[in-house]
Amino acid sequence: MLLTEQVDNMLPEGDPKRTGEEVRSQDPGEDPSVTLFREYLRLKTVQPEPNYDAAVRFLERIAAELGLGCQKVEVSPGRVVTILSWQGTDPRLRSILLNSHTDVVPVFEKHWTHGPFEAFKDSQGNIYARGAQDMKCVSIQYIEAIRRLKAEGKRFPRTVHMTFVPDEEIGGHMGMELFVKRPEFQALNVGFALDEGLANPTDAFTVFYGERCPWWIKVKCEGNPGHGSRFIENTAAEKLHRVITSLLQFRASEKQRLKCDEHLTLGDVTSLNLTMLSGGVSFNLVPPELAAAFDIRIPPTVNLKAFEEKLTAWCREAGEGVTYEFFQKFMDQTMTCTEDSDPWWKAFTGTCRDMHMTLKCEIFPAATDSRFIRAAGHPALGFSPMNRTPVLLHDHNEYLNERVFLRGIEIYTRLIPSLASVPPLPAEG
């Protein structure tokens, strides 16, 4: 485990060297929670070479400040899951897991008004940084909610674990997917989990109870080669054209279905996009093979076996020598219960109702680490308390307003006690 890189690397080039405490005190008029958020945003945990060591050091410091247990689990080389634990009063009960990821997606700095790792705050209180929405805000909201609850002397029956995982932005395959299979995860005794969601531009808050399955496939078409001046029969290009036509026709039908039914959201339909084309070596040579890659996201309401049969049929109809292979094939379609009779859902929604929050329930349109948590048998909800906020994850000039951020802390300050106080369930004796 490498934890030796200097703290200087956390900050943008040209910034003065300063410790965490000096960063916190730079603006005495700013809410300390906002200052901590901005400090975390300055950590360059950006793919493809995230500075995970800086994030681990940051979290170790927080654990020491709050008197929380801190465990580090290296699930793969250089990929550490950091666990901050607040012990409950009844160890028999299953725990509450508050999950977030430390990595962020790459940036194209020329499109940013402010440096993506400066955490610049404008006169309206908008904080611009990569990770402002996805999802460093939630990480700090968890931390600051627990800070407030501990300061009030509160304790609850169920233990609360905060997990900070790597590599979510590149699929989680070297992070949460491995972590849920390890004994350290089993030892957490998880009963219920919260993970990231999305901003909502309206007054409502979106909560996600399931996710679409990501399938990444590459279709390869073999055909007759020859000189580029001739009409060669059964070329790879002709076969690939047929495959692409079939898949994009299906894409158009799903897009139309979403457009025509106001009750559907993106998570309710299958999205399909052609993302890469490859093949050929010369302008005047008809290639013997061409390939196309597709990103497909399938709702949990779709029969996956039947959908793969459809893929197979499209390839078969395109001609001989047309095959496909999977580069990602997630098959678990578990959804978290949203019935009023479910104790976790009842605690979550009841608390939101008490705060006069309007909830909009959806299937998450992309993929988060929640899918691995659900696949491991634990109910999980995707929830980022950001309303009246445009959805800007992975976008240029990603930002979050400090008032929305602070409101999120208040929300978790109510949600965590409610979830951590759910009465013993039948399976818990």
pLDDT in tens, 200-220: 999 999 999 999 999 999 999
Mean pLDDT of 261-282: 97
- pTM (2 decimals)? 0.90
Catalytic residue among 53, 103, 222, 398: 103
pLDDT score, position 26: 61
Burial letters for 64-86: b for 16+ Cβ neighbours within 10 Å, e otherwise?
eebebebeebebeeebbbbbbbb
Mean pLDDT of 298-326: 98
HSE toward the beta carbon, residue 409, CA cutoff 13 A:
22
Residues 164 and 312 in one domain: no
pLDDT score, position 4: 27
Angle, CA 136 vertex, CA 107 and CA 393 arms, to 5°: 45
Please report which helix (H) or strand (E) contains residue 86, including its range.
Answer: strand 79-86
Query: What is the Cα–Cα distance from 313 to 326, expressed in whole angstroms?
Result: 16
- Strands (DSSP E) found in 105-212: 120-121, 126-128, 160-165, 190-195, 205-211
Query: What is the Cα–Cα distance from 368 to 168, expressed in whole angstroms?
Result: 7
pLDDT score, position 125: 97
pLDDT score, position 21: 44
Q: Is 103 a catalytic residue?
A: yes
User: Which of 329, 350, 383 lies at the terminal end of a domain, its last residue?
Assistant: 329
Catalytic residue among 39, 53, 168, 211: 168
Residues 62 and 119 in one domain: yes
User: Which of 274, 304, 329 lies at the terminal end of a domain, its last residue?
Assistant: 329
Q: Give the total number of structural domains in the chain.
A: 2
pLDDT score, position 8: 33
Confidence grade of residue 429 (pLDDT, cut at 50, 70, 90): low
* Owning domain of residue 227: 213-329
pLDDT score, position 114: 97
Query: What is the Cα–Cα distance from 150 to 285, expressed in whole angstroms?
Result: 71
Residues 179 and 219 in one domain: no
- For residue 269 the two structure tokens come to 């339909």
For the domain that residue 413 is a member of, what is the CATH number? 3.40.630.10
User: Which of 279, 307, 329 lies at the terminal end of a domain, its last residue?
Assistant: 329
Q: Is 362 a catalytic residue?
A: no
Mean pLDDT of 117-127: 98
Residues 93 and 174 in one domain: yes
Mean pLDDT score across all residues of the chain: 94
Query: What is the Cα–Cα distance from 287 to 278, expressed in whole angstroms?
Result: 11
